[in-house]
Structure 1
Amino acid sequence: MLSPEELLAARSREKSIPQRSHGQKDFLPDGSEAQNEKLRLCRAEQWELLKEERVERLGSLVKGIWRPKEDLVELTSPAGKFWQTMGFTHQGKQCLLPEEAVYLLECGAVQLFYHDSLLSVQEAYERLLGDQRFPVLHYQVYSHLKRLGYIVTRFDPSSVQSPYQRQLNLENSIRPHRKRKRSTSPGLENKMKPDTARGTEEEETQDSQANGACSDSRNSKASEASPSSAKPEPRTFRWDFSKICLPNCGSDRPCVHLPAPEPSLLPGNVAGREADISGWMHKLNMRPERLSRREREQLEWERKYKSSINSDPKVQKCSNWKEYKELQLERGRSHKHRRPAHLWASTVTPLLKPGPSHTTASVLDQISVMERSFLLDDYESWAQSYRKAESQISFNVYQADGASEFKKSRPGKPYTRMCVRSFSDQVPSLGTVKSLGYQSKDVPLIFALVDNGEVAFYSFKDFELPVDVYP
C-alpha cells in the first residue's frame, strides 16, 4: 500500500518512454568528453526506468492462488479481458497455466498468492517455472511472442489429425453444409400436383399387390418366379424432349426471333416477352483481342520452341490409342538405329539422347545426378530409426489481427507452430526435422533459438529452382 503522497507522485509521473535523441550510435570508444556524456545520459535514463515501480489499483487486479499439485493458478475473482485468449475452465473454475500467470503478473494484471502470501515476480519465477514444470527457456519465447501481439497456446499432439484422417478429409466433412432451400414456381407446383397424386395412387396399388403376393406366398408352397416379372420397367420422363426445340443462334442458323417463354415456367412477378436478337448478331465476337507485350513475346517463343503433338500429320491419321502407341514404338526404333555406333557402343555414352528439340527442363532432368526431393519425402523409413525426436513442438501461434477468427473453443488452423531450442544446442538432425515437419504437416514450423534472453527465429523450407528459361 502506498501513502497519499506516493500515489500523487505516481499519478503525476511521466509515463512516456524517453526518445532516443542522442544522435547516431557509436560502435568504438574514442575517449572524448562528448561520447562519455552521451553514455552517462543513456545509463541514467535506463536506471531511472528500471527503478520505477508500477502502480495499479487493487480493484482492477485479478487474484489467483497457485496450486502446485494441479500445476495451475486458480482465479478467485472474475477474469478480465485476457480471458478471451488465455485461461481455461477446470471443474467449473477459471484457471491459468503457469506461463500465462507469470506473464500477466509481469503485465500488472493479476496477483498471485501461495499459502495466503503474496508472490513477487522473482518468487513466481522460482515456483511456477523450472525444468520440472515449465522451462524458463520456453517462457522467454512465450512472453516474447505475446509482447509482439500474437496469440500463443500450448501444442497438443492429439489435436493434429492422423494421416488416415487427413486422407478422409474429416475436418471438412464435419462442417455443416448450409444451403438455402429454393422455392418452386407456382405454375410448376400446380402441374406437379396431379402427377404426384397419380404417382402416390400407383405406389399404393403396387404396395397392396406386393402385400397380397407376400401373403399368398406364405400360405402356398414355393413357386418359381416368371422371367417376365424380373425385367425392369423402362423409366418414363415427364418431359417429351423430342418436342422441345431450343433456338440455335449460331452464325449458320439465322434464328433471330425468340418466342416468349411459357408463363408457368416463370415466377409470378416476372413477365416474359418476345426477343429480337438481329441487332446483336453483328456485334458478337467482332472486337479483336489485344495482347500485352509480354503475352506476344510468350506466344512467339512458343511458336519457335514448342510443338504440339496434335499438329503431327501421322498422329492425326491414328484412329485409336493402339495405332498411336504403335507409331510411337516405330519412331523409337528408328531413333535407335540412327544413333552413331561409336558413341553408344562403349561404356561412356553421351548425357543426352538424340531426338527432337529439348526444353531446358527436359535437359536438366536427363543430366541430373540426384533426384529432387522434399522435406517430408520418405518419412516412413526415417521414422523407424528416429522413434523419439530430439525436440518437440511447444506452441501454436495465431495472429491477433482483425481477420483472425480465433476462439478458445475452436481455435482453427494455427498461423505457425514453434519449437524452442537453446542457441548452444546442436543443429537438429534431418530425422528430427522430418519428424517435426510431418507432425506439423501443412502448418509452417519455426525454430525459436534463445541466446541469453535474445530470441531468433529460423525455419527449414522447400524450394525449387527455375528450370525453364524464357527470353
Structure 2
Amino acid sequence: MGFSAEGKQYLLPEEALYLMECGSLLVFNQDLPLSIQDGYEMFLSADAVSLQQYQVFGHLKRLGYVVHRFDLSANSHHVISRNFPVHQIIQSIQVNGCITQEEWMSFVFLLRLKGSEEWRICFNVYQPDSVADFKKSNPGKPYSRMCVCSFDGPVPDLSVIKQLAFQSGDVPVVYAVVDHGDISFYTFKDFELPRDVFP
C-alpha cells in the first residue's frame, strides 16, 4: 500500500485508516496517538474518500483483493483527461484543423460526466490470486473497476452506465451499493434477446 514521492513513503487516507483498523499502523497528531474514531473523522470526507467508499475499500481488502484508486488520467490511452481544458480542445481544432472522432467522443462523454460525483469510478480492483505477482509500477489490467453508490440514492440510467463503461474501457464496471454498512455488488452485461426464427 501507499506510494513513494521524493524519497518518502505516503499513504492515502483510506489506506491509513484500514491499517489503523488492522492494528498495523499507529498515527500521531501533535505527538498524541489517534484513535480509530479520530481517524474516521480526520481521513474521511466528501472531498477525499467518503464513508461508503471506505466501507467498500475495507471490505474488498479484507477479502484479499488489491484495491487502488481509479485515475482517469492514467487511463487516457482511450479517453481525454477529465481536467483537459475546453480551450485546449478548441485550440487543437484551430491549429490542426481537426481532432479524431475518438478524441471528440471522449471529450463529449467526459463533459457530460464532469461535476458528477454521484456516478464515478472510484477503484481499480485486482483479484486476490494476483497479490503475489502484483507490482505497483506495472499493475496490469484490473479485474474490475468499482463505482460506489448508496442504496438510498438514484439508480444509474442508461447514459450513466454507458459513460462509465466508456471510461473503463474493456474492464467491467461493478456497482457497489452500500446500505447502512451492508454492501451488494451489481454489474450490467450486454445480451441479445432471442429472435423468433418462425415468423
Picking from 408, 421, 425, the partner of 2:153 is 425
CA contact (8 A) 2:78 2:169 kept: no
Aligned residue identity for 1:98: P
State the Cα deviation string for residues 59-115 of structure 1 (Å, max 9, x = none).
xxxxxxxxxxxxxxxxxxxxxxxxxxx111122111111100110111011111011
How does the TM-score come out when normalised to structure 1?
Answer: 0.34
CA drift at 1:129: 1.2
Select which of 384, 396, 408 maps to 2:136. Answer: 408
Distance of aligned partners of 1:383 and 1:157 in 2 relative to their CA distance in 1, 3 Å threshold: closer
What is the alpha-carbon distance in structure 2 between the residues aligned to residue 384 and residue 394 of structure 1? 15
Over the residues paired in the alignment, what is the CA RMSD in angstroms? 2.6
Is contact 1:405–1:411 with CA below 8 Å preserved after alignment? no
CA deviation string 1:218-266 (max 9, x = no partner)? xxxxxxxxxxxxxxxxxxxxxxxxxxxxxxxxxxxxxxxxxxxxxxxxx
Letter of the structure 2 residue corresponding to residue 146 of structure 1: K
Q: Partner letter of residue 100 of structure 1?
A: E
Aligned twin of 1:95: 10
- Unaligned stretches of 5+ residues in structure 1: 1-85, 166-378
Q: Do structure 1's residue 459 and structure 2's residue 187 form an aligned pair?
A: yes
Could you list the per-position Cα deviations for residues 27-69 of structure 1 after superposition, in whole angstroms to 9, with x for gaps in the alignment?
xxxxxxxxxxxxxxxxxxxxxxxxxxxxxxxxxxxxxxxxxxx
The separation in 2 between residues aligned to 1:404 and 1:163, in whole angstroms, is 29
Structure 1 residue 467, shift from structure 2 partner: 4.7
Is residue 151–residue 178 contact of structure 2 (8 Å, CA) maintained in 1? yes
Contact 1:394 1:420 in 2 (8 A): yes
Q: Which residue, out of 71, 93, 114, partners 1:156?
A: 71
Identity rate, percent = 52
Larger Rg: 1
Q: Distance in 2 between matches of 1:140 and 1:391?
A: 17
Matched to 2:43, the amino acid is: L
Change (3 A) 1:465 1:430: closer
Given candidates 404, 425, 435, the residue that maps to 2:163 is: 435
1:356 matched to which residue of 2? none
Residues 118 and 404 of structure 1: CA distance in aligned 2, closer, same or farther (over 3 Å): closer
Higher relative contact order (CA 8 A, sep 6+): 2
Is the 2:69–2:123 contact (alpha carbons within 8 Å) kept by the matching residues of 1?
yes
Deviation by residue 1:395-420 (Cα, 9 ceiling, x = unmatched): 00001215863210110000000000
| CA displacement, residues 287-338 of structure 1 (integer Å, 9 cap, x when unaligned) | xxxxxxxxxxxxxxxxxxxxxxxxxxxxxxxxxxxxxxxxxxxxxxxxxxxx
Aligned to 1:449, the other structure's residue is in SS state: strand
Give the counterpart of 2:54 among 139, 155, 160: 139
| 1:450/1:456 contact within 8 Å kept | yes
> Which structure features the higher share of helix residues?
1
Q: 1:408 to 1:163 in 2, by over 3 A?
A: closer
The 3-state SS of whatever aligns with 1:412 is coil
Q: 2: CA distance between counterparts of 1:95 and 1:403?
A: 20
Unmatched tracts of structure 2, length 5 or more: 81-104
The equivalent residue for 2:42 is 127
